A and B are shown apart, each in its own frame.
Chain A
Amino acid sequence: MPKRVLVIDDALIMRMRIKEIALESGWEIAGEATNGEQGLALYQELRPDLVTLDIVMPKMDGVAALRQIRELDPAAKVVMVSAVDQKGKLAECIRLGAMDFIVKPFDKARLQGFFVKYGRDADSAATARIREANAREEQAT
């Protein structure tokens, strides 16, 4: 089953670009939002596998949205997509548990690589966990 991404960004062009690249990389678009508030509500509704989150947005900025999304779901996987000059806020996002960040403007290959990486990544971690569990069982018996 393809993984689903929620795209939160106030700039239409960013959302279009991220969506396009996600689709090309075999992801599904769970939804999109234009501000943090809307994004948070959609996160709760859609429970996507991944969120791409802009920082500077109206109503509720990315930092606040990240905090609330992580409060709602401590396992939420959120990737910050931000300009290079938001470094202070990015650092805060890392503290708040953002799983990664991508610097705007990004080129296509980077985001593509990213989606491929995380499309696979969770899988391999899951397989690893299963393998580990199996090993423990074997030891027990």
Chain B
Amino acid sequence: MNDEFDFSTGLPSSEMSQYLQLFLDETSEQLDALVESLLVLESHPTDAEQLNEAFRLIHSIKGSAGMMGLDGITVLTHHLENHFERLRSGLQTLDERALGLILRCIDFLRECNRRLRAGTPLASAPELLDELNGLAVAPEGGLPTPTPAAAQPPAPSVAAVVSSAEPEPVVLAAVVPAPTASTPTGRGPVTVASHDVDYLIVVTFEPELPLADLKAELVLARLAEIAAVRETWPLRDELANVSALTTLQVLLSSDHPETELRSAADVDGVRAVEAVAGAREFLELEPSESAEPKATAPTAAPTAAVAWVSAAPQIASAEAVTVPVADHVEDRSAHIAVADVVTPTAVAEASGAEPRSRVAETVRVDIGRLDRLMNLAGELVVNKARFVQIARQMSPVFKKTGAAGRVRSFGDSMRRALQLMKTQAAAHSGESAANWDSQIQELEAGIEALEEQSRLWEASRRSFTQFHEAIDQMSRVSNSLQRGVLETRMVPVAPLFNRFKRVVRDISLELGKRVNLEIHGEHTELDKRMIDELGDPLVHLVRNAIDHGIESSEVRRRAGKPETGAIRLSAAHSGNNVLISVADDGGGIPVEKVRRRIVERGLVAESVAEGLSEREVVDFIWHPGFSTADAVSDISGRGVGMDIVKTRIAELNGTIEIEHVAGAGTTFTIRLPLTLAIIHSLLFRLRHGVFAVPIDNVREIVSVPVKQVVSIHGRQTFEVRGEFIPLVDIDEIFDWHKTQYQYPGSVSRTAESVGDRWNVVILQSSEKTMGLKVNELQGGQDIVIKSLAENFVHIRGLSGASILGDGSVCLLLDVAAAIALAAGRGKKNREE
């Protein structure tokens, strides 16, 4: 790991590519959380908890990136981590410059994720690394960046070697840990018993093992549990200073079998363990060739060896060792007694905080799979509808309850009649008698067949009742299944909303305005796909609110408002809809300014503009190419935002409305269906077939006397409670009367009046209304929407199609587009 790392080759190693999706999901969340931490730190730069949290998040990203083999990300996060380490330890404080830089690093990491998702090579960011390194140069004169221990330069100073040559304390400290440093759970040394055997254990580590010195410590600690470690080479205190440590030799006494000693020494990273038993005098403990600290000063090894020899006699004295050990053991048992009392409650508390979730984990599922599942659940619902329809068609046959009884009594009276015929027939003879007989037999067979049929019918009737029950059962299950699948797609809006803390911060800094963001209802759940699509429109709205809505602090002060403006982002459920609103406490929409602007832009003639109502003027905000900003700022004011916002929301089958109070603020409210996949709709029949409109777009259904339809400016119009509403035929929307295809028996109009009245559905979208003539209303139904664009072609005015119970296709009207189309066509027709 070093600074001149080449970022361009940073794609995940092939072995790990199966984890890429997980990596991206997890780190994206971690980056979001990191931004949140940073925003808290911005106002409380020394908040220890947040510093720890940020450090942890970065550390975690670094770890995951390391596993993925994404070295570029690892290097960057390593440097970030270093900086947070300095912040945590209080050596530096988070200043504005560092914060900005860290945020840019986060942006870069997000960009990395985006590229990884797209499969493109990662960009390089040497300047970020340089700047991060620049941060390290603290006023205190430069702090050493924590470098990996393996890379730590060894070279123990002569002084260190000399001091370690002092015999007693060094080795004793290594063998017996000071009582204060140990805990009840720590490792306890073993007392030396008389029947102990001496061993020489030689442990060989893998070459270039990271943290080999710690591994050596580990081996010693593990051995100390079952043996009394007498001497080690290298000396325990010097382990950290030995570069490329490959061999550890340990002289110890133990009554445990050799195999246990071997396995205690055989930790991860150990290549071989040798154990030699024998009297201590015969065991030689000498620095081996491979263990010689080559890179260090050549004097180090001999000096250590001298120290070793001089230390040996001191250790040989058994009392010197056992006395402190006995103390320690006593100390230890006391601890355990206390621990036994304390532990259960401590653990109960811990387990209470996190209820026994065995694997407290959510499953990450590719949204494509959920889509397929949703589709299948939808098909099931459609099939269920077919069953219901078939059952409905069958029910008249089985509903007539008395029918079987009537057949039976009919059979009985026929038999009686036959009996009469038989007595009559007996009076005849010859050919006539044979004739009678065959007639009677034929009738008898007929009666039997009828009765048989009646029995079958009776049995079927019972089956039909069961069939009904089965359909009911299936309906319940398929509805639950559909709801269940829907719920799996629902995620809280919180992550989306939380992104705006950063957005608001950045924009308000850039514009020099003071703005607070309030978030409400962040637990409201919405279809995941919808949340993904909502980001951009919301950013536009929030930018717009800060740029145009919130006034400068001077203006606010003069108006008697708090100098800091407020943006409120909220979400809430409303029936089958979710409402998401962006509100500001700014100056509201300057209606007269907008009115002037639409004239300037040539959107309407001045005379027309003067006659427009306030609401009509405000509606021009959605007009493509409209902008009221005096200066085109970097953030908004290019006039490309609001019309796109509206289009994007409409694509989600949603609507957006503006409410504003002059001087007090503006609220944009987005109304979205809970999901894109299922829409509660009103179905009606036209001559072409069945159509549906989302129930949210239906204002009311009226019956309009033909005589009351009047023509205004060449458009058919009718009156409802004093309001004039245009009346259109589906053909006017789609121009179908101009096509070559003629429906059988169709005249110029596809809808027919019933008697002398029209059935009219009044459709509404963003406060525009239109009456649509329909032939027959079929009621409300949840329909599963299939995309027309994916399966056929996109048709303006239609937002999709669905398959109905009878297997026929039903088209779903896109009401906003249909109203616009009808208005356009009406105009064109008048001009012609």
Q: Choose among A10, A13, A41, A124 the residue that contacts B354 (Cβ–Cβ < 8 A).
A: A41
Shortest distance from the beta carbon of A18 to any chain B beta carbon, whole Å: 10
Is A33 an interface residue when CB atoms closer than 8 A count as contact?
yes
CA distance A67 to B15 in the complex (A): 35
Known contacts being A11-B26, A11-B63, is A32 close to B359, with CB within 8 Å? yes
Q: Are the C-beta atoms of B359 and A85 separated by less than 8 Å?
A: no
Selected contact of A67 from candidates B181, B185, B358, CB within 8 Å: B185
* A-chain residues with CB within 8 Å of residue B81 when the two chains form the complex: 85
Given contacts A13-B22, A40-B350, A103-B210, contact A95 B148 (CB under 8 A): no
Instruction: Name the segment of B3-11, B258-266, B382-390 touching the other chain.
Output: B258-266
Whether B222 sits at the interface, judged by CB under 8 Å, is yes
Q: Which of B185, B217, B360 has the most CB of A within 10 A?
A: B185
Count of A-B residue pairs with CB < 8 Å: 157
B contact residues around A56 at 8 Å (CB): 55-56, 59-60
A24 within 8 A of B: no
Q: When the two chains form the complex, which single residue of A14, A71, A94, A100 contacts B268, counting CB atoms closer than 8 Å?
A: A100
Q: How far is the CA of A110 from the CA of B68 in the complex (A)?
A: 16
Query: Known: A14-B64, A84-B210, A95-B182. Contact between A128 and B257, CB under 8 A?
Result: yes
Chain B nearest CB: distance from A62 CB in Å?
11
Q: Distance in Å from the Cβ of B8 to the closest Cβ of chain A?
A: 20
Q: Does B173 reach chain A (CB closer than 8 Å)?
A: no
Return chain B residues, CB-CB under 8 Å to A23.
Answer: none
**Quick check: is A113 within 8 A (CB to CB) of the other chain?**
yes
Q: Which of A1-25 contact B (CB under 8 A)?
A: 10-14, 16-17
Verify A57–B63 contact, CB threshold 8 A. Answer: no
CB-defined contacts of A131 to chain B, threshold 8 Å: 257
Is A125 at the interface (CB under 8 A from chain B)? yes
User: For residues 56 through 78 of chain A, which have their beta carbon under 8 Å from a beta carbon of chain B?
Assistant: 56-58, 60, 66-68, 70-72, 74
Chain A residues with CB under 8 Å of B67's CB are 13-14, 17, 104-106
Interface contact B221-A44, CB-CB below 8 Å: no
Contact B260 A128 (CB under 8 A): yes
Nearest A residue to B20 via CB reads A13
Q: Does B66 contact A (CB under 8 A)?
A: yes
> CB within 8 A of B146: which of A11, A85, A100?
A85
Does the CB pair A95–B211 fall under 8 Å?
no
CA distance A45 to B354 in the complex (A): 13
**Shortest Cβ distance from A44 into B: residue:** B347
**Would you give the shortest CB distance from A127 to chain B, in whole angstroms?**
8
Task: Decide: A87 near B214, CB < 8 A? Known: A38-B354, A95-B182, A96-B186.
Answer: yes
- Beyond A58-B53, A71-B343, A110-B268, whether A84 also contacts B217 by CB under 8 A is no
- A75-110 contacts to B, CB under 8 A, are 79, 83-85, 87, 90-91, 94-106, 108, 110
**Docked-complex contact A95 and B268, CB < 8 angstroms:** no
* B150 lies within 8 A of chain A by Cβ: yes
B184 partner residues in chain A, CB cutoff 8 A: 71, 74
Q: A114-129 vs B: 1/0 string, CB under 8 Å?
A: 1001000100110011
Residues A23-37 near B (CB distance < 8 A): 31-34, 37
A32 to B358, CA, bound (A): 7
A95-B181 in contact given A31-B359, A37-B353, A108-B15 (Cβ < 8 Å): yes
Closest Cβ of chain B to A82, distance in Å, is 9
What residues on B are CB-neighbors of A66 within 8 Å? 185
A36 to B704, CA, bound (A): 71
Partner of B63 from A98, A105, A110 at Cβ < 8 Å = A105
- Cα–Cα, bound, A50→B260 (Å): 18
Count of chain B residues with a beta carbon within 8 Å of a chain A beta carbon: 63
DSSP class of B's interface residues: helix, strand, loop or mixed? helix
The smallest C-beta distance from B328 to any residue of chain A, in angstroms, reads 14
**Contact indicator B339/A71 (Cβ below 8 Å):** yes
Whether the Cβ atoms of A13 and B64 lie closer than 8 Å is yes
Contact A31 B358 (CB under 8 A): yes
CB of B183 within 8 A of chain A?
A: yes
Bound CA span A105–B62, Å: 9
CA distance A83 to B185 in the complex (A): 24
Q: Any chain A CB within 8 A of the CB of B470?
A: no
Whole-angstrom distance between the alpha carbons of A84 and B147 in the complex?
9
Q: Which residues of B contact A117 (CB under 8 A)?
A: 266, 268
Q: A84 near B351 (CB under 8 angstroms)?
A: no
A residues near B267, Cβ cutoff 8 Å: 99-100
A102 to B181, CA, bound (A): 24
If A83-B59, A84-B150, A94-B218 touch, whether A132 touches B257 (CB-CB below 8 Å) is: yes
Are B218 and A100 in contact, with the CB atoms below 8 A? yes
Instruction: Point out the residues of chain B lying under 8 angstroms from A10, CB to CB.
Output: 56, 60
- Whole-angstrom distance between the Cβ of B47 and the nearest chain A Cβ: 15
**Which residue from B59, B62, B150, B357 sits with its C-beta under 8 Å from A38?**
B357
Q: Mark B117-158, 1 if CB is under 8 A from A, else 0.
A: 000000000000000000000000000001011100000000
Closest B residue, CB atoms, query A103: B210
Q: B1-47: which residues lie under 8 A (CB-CB) from chain A?
A: 15, 19, 22-23, 25-26
**Which of under 10, 10 to 19, 20 to 34, or 35 or more describes the interface residues of A?**
35 or more
**Contact indicator per residue, chain B 317-357, by CB within 8 Å of chain A (1) or not (0):** 00000000000000000001001000100110011011011
- Main secondary structure on chain A at its contact with chain B? helix
| Bound-complex Cα distance A16 to B580 (A) | 37
Cα separation A36 to B663 with both chains bound (whole Å): 53
With A113-B268, A124-B263 given, is the CB distance from A16 to B19 under 8 Å?
yes
B149 touches A84 (CB 8 A): yes
- Measured between alpha carbons, how far is A114 from B281 in the docked complex, in Å? 36
Which residues from A are CB-within-8-Å of B537? none
Residue B177 CB within 8 A of the other chain: yes
Residues of B within 8 A of A110 (CB): 268-269
Q: How far is B257's CA from A68's CA once the two chains are assembled, in angstroms?
A: 30
Which of chain B's residues have a CB closer than 8 A to the CB of A105?
Answer: 63, 66-67, 69
B68 CB to closest chain A CB (Å) equals 7
Which residues of chain A are near B357, meaning CB under 8 Å? 38
A91–B185 touching, CB < 8 Å: no
Which of A12, A91, A95, A102 is most buried by chain B, counting CB atoms within 10 A of its CB?
Answer: A12
Instruction: Write out the residue numbers on chain B whose beta carbons fall within 8 Å of the beta carbon of A37.
Output: 350, 353-354
- Interface presence of B361 (CB below 8 A): yes
B347 touches A40 (CB 8 A): yes
Please determine whether A58 and B221 come into contact, CB atoms closer than 8 angstroms. Answer: no
Q: Please, which residues of chain B bring their CB within 8 A of the CB of A13? A: 19, 22-23, 26, 64, 67-68
Q: Measured between alpha carbons, how far is A87 from B350 in the docked complex, in Å? A: 27
Q: Name the distance in Å between A102's Cβ and chain B's nearest Cβ.
A: 6
Nearest residue, chain A, Cβ from B26: A12
Complex Cα–Cα for A97 and B22 (A):
33
CA distance in complex: A32, B187 (Å): 26
Interface string of B356-391 (1 = CB under 8 A from A): 111111000000000000000000000000000000
Query: Are B347 and A72 neighbours in the complex by a CB distance under 8 Å?
Result: yes
In the assembly, what is the distance between CA of A79 and CA of B222, in Å?
13
Please indicate the chain A residues that have their CB under 8 angstroms from the CB of B64 in the complex: 11, 13-14
Residue of A nearest to B62 (CB): A83
Would you call B211 and A84 a contact (CB within 8 A)?
Answer: yes
Residue in chain A with minimal CB distance to B354: A38
Bound-state CA distance A16–B360 (Å) is: 14
Give complex CA distance A12, B347 in Å. 25
Contact partners of B149 in chain A: CB under 8 A: 84-85, 87
Given contact pairs A85-B81, A90-B214, A101-B214, A58 touches B63 in the complex (Cβ within 8 A): no
- Minimum Cβ distance to chain A for residue B220 (Å): 9
| Chain B residues within 8 Å of A, Cβ to Cβ | 15, 19, 22-23, 25-26, 53, 55-56, 59-60, 62-64, 66-69, 78, 81, 146, 148-150, 177, 181-187, 210-211, 214-215, 217-218, 221-222, 257, 259-260, 263, 266-269, 336, 339, 343, 346-347, 350-351, 353-354, 356-361
Closest 4 CB pairs of A and B: A70-B185, A41-B351, A105-B66, A128-B259
* 22 interchain pairs, CB-CB under 8 A: A13-B19, A13-B26, A31-B358, A34-B361, A37-B353, A57-B56, A58-B53, A68-B347, A71-B184, A74-B185, A79-B268, A84-B210, A90-B211, A97-B186, A99-B267, A100-B268, A101-B211, A101-B218, A105-B67, A113-B268, A128-B260, A131-B257
